[in-house]
């Protein structure tokens, strides 16, 4: 392990920048997925493409951050995951184009000023709920910020999420997802469909496997 891997301690901001500058691709893999994915966003901000694995039964925000074949690659099983890394390592032009697209997305959606304003509005609303009187000139600056999704946003998200589950690097392999998450022994259990109801695609795949 020591020959092939470098185990890094907590990195300072400067060391983190050096680290991302030294790599060609960020390979990010997790059995429990991501609720957001700071490491992924950091790599995108450093203009690096990211390879992630989809975890449809757990948090799966990584497939929202990474746009398949645009800012990186999404794989659903181990072999496609390895091939995705090799694909990017062997295609410098695409690697650089995906890295640049990821940088633009990170700058557009995750830059510090934008996220800071959202947090400021949350704190202001909490202060108002506590009965703290605030000047209208302060609160009026945050009226254009809406951090709650609309009904249309939710409907749109479901369609986009299902699309991202389908469009991965290599063939879809739900059995693999269940196995690595420790659920493979439940494949013949009807109640598992409830765990997958948020993904119509996942249900169709599961029903096919159970026939």
Distance CA 40, CA 28 (A): 7
| Residues 18-59 pLDDT 10s | 999 999 999 999 989 999 999 999 999 999 999 999 888 788
- Supply the mean pLDDT for the chain: 81
Could you tell me what percent of the chain has a pLDDT over 70? 78
Contacts for 154-162: CB closer than 8 Å, 24+ residues apart: 158/198, 161/63, 161/64, 161/198, 161/199, 162/199, 162/200, 162/201
Domain map (residue ranges) of the chain: 13-110+151-210, 112-142
Q: What's the first-to-final CA gap in the chain, in angstroms?
A: 42
Could you tell me what percent of the chain has a pLDDT over 90? 39
Confidence of residue 157 (pLDDT cuts 50, 70, 90): confident
Give the ranges where 50-150 is alpha helix by DSSP (H): 62-65, 78-89, 92-109, 112-129, 136-139
Distance CA 23, CA 50 (A): 11
Q: Span 13-110+151-210: which CATH code?
A: 3.40.50
Indicate the pTM of the whole model: 0.72
- Predicted confidence (pLDDT) at residue 191 exceeds the cutoff of 80: no
């Amino acid at each position: 392990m020591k020959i092939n891997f470098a185990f890094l301690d907590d990195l300072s901001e400067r060391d983190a920048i050096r680290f991302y500058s030294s790599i060609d691709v960020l390979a990010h893999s997790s059995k429990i997925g991501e609720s957001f994915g700071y490491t992924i966003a950091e790599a995108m901000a450093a203009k690096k493409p990211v390879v992630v694995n989809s975890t449809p039964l757990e948090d799966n925000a990584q497939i929202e951050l990474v746009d398949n074949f645009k800012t990186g690659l999404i794989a659903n099983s181990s072999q496609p995951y390895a091939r995705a890394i090799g694909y990017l390592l062997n295609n410098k032009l695409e690697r650089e184009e995906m890295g640049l697209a990821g940088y633009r997305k990170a700058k557009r959606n995750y830059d510090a000023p934008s996220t800071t304003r959202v947090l400021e509005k949350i704190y202001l609303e909490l202060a108002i709920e506590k009965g703290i009187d605030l000047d209208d000139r302060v609160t009026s600056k945050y009226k254009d910020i809406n951090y709650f999704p609309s009904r249309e946003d939710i409907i749109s998200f479901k369609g986009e999420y299902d699309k991202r589950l389908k469009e991965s690097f290599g063939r879809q392999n739900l059995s693999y997802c269940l196995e690595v998450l420790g659920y493979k022994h439940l494949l013949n259990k009807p109640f598992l469909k409830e765990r997958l109801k948020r993904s119509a695609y996942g249900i169709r795949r599961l029903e096919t496997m159970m026939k």
